[in-house]
Structure 1
Amino acid sequence: MRVMLIVNPFATATSPAGRDALVNTLSAHFPVDVEHTTHRGHAGELGARAVADNYDAVIVHGGDGSVNETVNGLLGPPWRSAPTRLPALAVIPGGSANVFARTLGIDPDPLQATRQIIDLLDHGSHRRVGLGHSADRWFLFNAGMGIDAIIVHAMEDKRHAGKAATPARYLRTTIASFLRNARDTKTFTVTAAGHDPVEDTRFAFISNTSPWTYLGRREIRINPATGFGTRLGVFAATSTGVLRNLPLATRLVAGRTPKARHLFRDDDVAWVAFAAPEALDVQMDGDYIGAFTDIRFDHRSDVLDVVAPAGEPTVNR
């Protein structure tokens, strides 16, 4: 078995000693070619090389951004036919949220996850999952326009300033961004397959699976019935008012089905399009990708082979 290990040495929850320990653990079971990312987009370049060099598996040790880059490198742009032979993807969590790995049922502890991945590879435990995509980029678990993209943008600015992306800082940034933008008048239109357009939308999320994210150990499920076996989930709100959204946020934190008069939600649609009169922030998998006036999200089933337990469990610790 040919295995490439892609390591992001700058990921939030990694350390030199931890990386050495997991490399040693993996190398004791099969030969591993270790590649450290050095710049933005490098994981994508390594993913593409893994396909060209016929690796059997690619293991990513990093956060959701590194996994997203790797997947885009493995598959190439959505408008192009994917390679006929792809390495299986495995993830050893190394970021602050690790949404994709946790949703697959991978242990959040890197060393425990390493042993789990070895066992899954030994037993050939793979799953095919569907992905969401825009015209030129794949996403694994979520995308959005509006407040979540504003929060992601703010967190990236903090990381560039040398501040760690801790759960506490993310929560503070979320609250501050929501309060700061509560009276923002910018809106856009959300159109989902089979539905009338939702005008005057203030923020909207697209899900490829559930949970949408985690608040520490707590799962936040904005589209509870969306999963890797369904199409996309859409969650669009026409208000950023604190009083109107506080009950909705309370339901989400409590694990109850999200409901509100200003909320449009569908857990299984073929596509979703956003259209805005002026460019608004957009994020994919927790990565700020820029400001857009028009962007469409589609779904493609059974596109990626992942190393994971059978079924669709989540690890909630």
Structure 2
Amino acid sequence: MRAVLIVNPTATSTTPAGRDLLAHALKSRLQLTVEHTNHRGHGTELAEKAVADGVDLVVVHGGDGTVSGVVNGLLGRPGAASGPTGPVPAVAVVPGGSANVLARSLGISRDPVAATNQLIQLLDDYHRHHTWRRIGLIDCGERWAVFNTGMGVDAEVVAAVEAERDKGGKVTAWRYIRAAIPAVWAYTRREPMLTLELPGREPVTGVSFAFVSNSSPWTFANDRPVWTNPGCTFETGLGVFAPTTMKTIPTLRIVRQMFAKRPKFEFDHLITADDVPCVRVTSTGGPVACQFDGDYLGVRETMTYRAVPDALAVVAPPRKNPF
């Protein structure tokens, strides 16, 4: 089996020793080429080349941004007439970032050494059964999102963290918290200006922000999962989480449930929906910040998100119920 290992050497928890261990282990099972990213968007370029070269498997050692870039390189722009230039390789992830949401949501260990051993076992399983797990993705129109996307406050937090990272700052859970506090505070003083459209329902106006999920949990704060749509999985439709107020007390009640071990989102001021095929979010007050997979997309007035089932083959254990 021909494979490419794409390593982001600047990712938060990527080390030369871990990279060498991973490469050595994979070479015992695969015909392996190792590539390192050296500029923004390089993972996407390397993934495009992997498709063109007819590679069977792409292993990503980096953070969620690197993984998302690789997936977009493999699949091409959603709805593009040309599409991928060849068969799309399966994707394996060995965590190398800070949150590592995709890997952990797929059941991959957050420890790179343990994840390497897990990957070897999964490759051996594939040689016996010749079947990869397949997961759905989110079609965002101009990009694919692998695990979550959103409009509003989360995107502003992502933009603030990216600005710090561009200055040389390390991405940590604490840095996200520091960025989130002023962003959330600013939103408490704004009038909700988003309109949410779900299939079979009347449009809902006065929405403060919208999270759209492809899996659960929504993210991680170090070891702790942060929930929005606990029933959302890679095998179902989209999860939607959209509050209609950002007043302090109601917001704190929502946040408390987001960090709960068994969250219950039973609030009149919160719209939640699971397993939806599509959702459209429109701003009535000008362009709003948008993010996908923890990367800042820019500002948009309208975004339409569609669930695309079985879009990607992944090297991962079978799905388990988190509860």
**Which TM-score band (shorter chain)?**
over 0.9
Q: What does residue 249 of structure 2 align with?
A: 243
Residue-by-residue CA offset, 1:174-224 (whole Å, 9 max, x unaligned): 223212332123511111112211111111100111111112211122111
Deviation at 1:134? 1.4
Pair 1:304 & 2:312 matched: yes
SS at match of 2:109: coil
Measure the CA separation in 1 of the matches of 2:104 and 2:321.
9
Q: What does residue 252 of structure 1 align with?
A: 258
Deviation at 1:313? 5.8
Measure the CA separation in 1 of the matches of 2:113 and 2:59.
13
Higher mean alpha-carbon deviation, 113-122 vs 19-28, is at: 19-28
Q: What does residue 265 of structure 1 align with?
A: 272
Pair 1:59 & 2:59 matched: yes
SS at match of 1:123: helix
Deviation at 1:171? 1.9
Deviation at 1:24? 2.2
> Would you say the 8 A contact 1:14–1:95 is kept in 2?
yes
> Would you say the 8 A contact 1:77–1:136 is kept in 2?
yes
Task: Provide runs of 4+ in structure 1 moved above 6 Å.
Answer: none
Q: What does residue 115 of structure 1 align with?
A: 117
Higher mean alpha-carbon deviation, 244-253 vs 304-313, is at: 304-313
Residue-by-residue CA offset, 1:70-121 (whole Å, 9 max, x unaligned): 0011111111365462211000001111101001000101111111111111
Classify 1:263/1:178 alpha carbon distance in 2 versus 1 (closer, same or farther; 3 Å): same
Measure the CA separation in 1 of the matches of 2:298 and 2:207.
19
Measure the CA separation in 2 of the matches of 1:240 and 1:154.
20
The letter of the residue matching 1:89 is V
SS at match of 2:287: strand
Q: What does residue 50 of structure 1 align with?
A: 50
Q: What does residue 216 of structure 1 align with?
A: 222
Residue ranges of structure 2 left out of the alignment (5+ in a row):
none
Measure the CA separation in 2 of the matches of 1:22 and 1:167.
26
Deviation at 1:310? 1.7
Pair 1:233 & 2:235 matched: no
**Among the aligned pairs, what percent are the same residue?**
45
> Would you say the 8 A contact 2:290–2:299 is kept in 1?
yes
The letter of the residue matching 1:258 is F
Measure the CA separation in 2 of the matches of 1:217 and 1:194.
38
Residue-by-residue CA offset, 1:17-47 (whole Å, 9 max, x unaligned): 2222222222233331011111111111111
Aligned pairs for 1:176-191 within 5 A: 176-185=182-191, 187-191=193-197
Pair 1:40 & 2:46 matched: no
Classify 1:305/1:209 alpha carbon distance in 2 versus 1 (closer, same or farther; 3 Å): same
The letter of the residue matching 1:199 is T
Instruction: Provide the TM-score with structure 2 as the length reference.
Output: 0.93
Pair 1:151 & 2:153 matched: no
Instruction: Provide the TM-score with structure 1 as the length reference.
Output: 0.95
Residue ranges of structure 1 left out of the alignment (5+ in a row):
none
RMSD: 1.6
SS at match of 2:281: strand
Aligned pairs for 1:67-78 within 5 A: 67-78=67-78
Q: What does residue 13 of structure 2 align with?
A: 13
Measure the CA separation in 2 of the matches of 1:50 and 1:104.
23
Residue-by-residue CA offset, 1:261-314 (whole Å, 9 max, x unaligned): 211110111111111130010000000000001111011111100000122466
> Would you say the 8 A contact 2:155–2:289 is kept in 1?
yes
Measure the CA separation in 1 of the matches of 2:270 and 2:192.
17
> Would you say the 8 A contact 2:12–2:96 is kept in 1?
yes
